[in-house]
Structure 1
């Protein structure tokens, strides 16, 4: 009777060496940055930081400021919604050839395009779009759309490739056309997961839209940059509070919607 040796457990040395390598990289990073911690924790530095933080209180809650912040919040919401919607449409169209639906020849090129779009950060896209389309919210929406197209297109393509082929194949064998078989066989299975991806990316784009204003792409970020550049900390505190409220509300709505989609996806 032949016996096969039991599989050897993974070596502990490999894990220990990996942990030591990560620790060494972290220590080397702090040494390379040459941060003067003594100056950072000096009493004068702490007093200056305290005075700077105290200047943000109380926030400016005057009617003109609240109206300006409300308009900026609506603009930020519109930038994120438009950018996400454009990305969902473009990503859905590019996902088909990226999943091999347009032929094997197109698949590598489209996937390369999606990787290129999502490899460029939103801030870089925003800087380029400001130069191309001018200052304002349209540049921010285009920047979010370009980066998010790469992300959603790749997610949609992977989800499409992982769908069971039986429903669509059965419809094709029953005489349905390719478009009808996809619409009634695969699309209903893909839709809940794709919508959950879109909501999650919209949630992330709300945060990013508040940052894109620092390069002139409109919204609350541009308003915050304006007041900080004038050392108007009370007004800046109001803008920061509006950012928090906006992100909190959208996060709550997005999380609720994705939870409602989870049973349908399961």
Structure 2
């Protein structure tokens, strides 16, 4: 499958795939640490992860892998099985959700399977934060798109990987908890970062995308959203309003 490779800073590499048409591109962030290679999310299976691993092993590093799952959505952890012998980390709720829904999602979304996918849940979990100080890497619980969502901060290259908390053109709700989501995006804006890598929608952005997502959520909360001409905007907004309506009734 086709993959686009983009360098960010000195040690970050974004692998972007177009296999999910309405969520394109979908990004996997790799960080070349001092003693480990960090892989942020594993997409649709061992097929694309073999492409990622081949590029890293041939051209960059043979250091051991540490895999991070930003949340439990199927398109972010199906490739864990490629790294089944590695350390795989997530927020505690993410592991519980993968264990609860993983097998069912294999059936529901089988058209998106890329390779022989086996559900492999994270083998190390954290609650609020997990730090690798010698690597300049932090994983932080940042509820928003889902309540289990977490993010990766590369303190060296000043890169923030947001998972699905930030997207272009607007964020995608799965929970009606707008206040928590807004708090997370405000926290993002307080970070010392220069680059933002979202899970979907664009490859590399800046804090401006966070601000735009935040403006949308604030407007949604107040009920005064201005429509956009983006073809992807309306279906996402309609989904968001359905989520809010479902929980309000």
TM-score of the two chains, using structure 2 as the length reference: 0.20
The structure having more radius of gyration, on CA atoms, is 1
Q: Which has a greater percent of strand?
A: 2
TM-score of the two chains, using structure 1 as the length reference: 0.19
Q: Which has a greater percent of helix?
A: 1
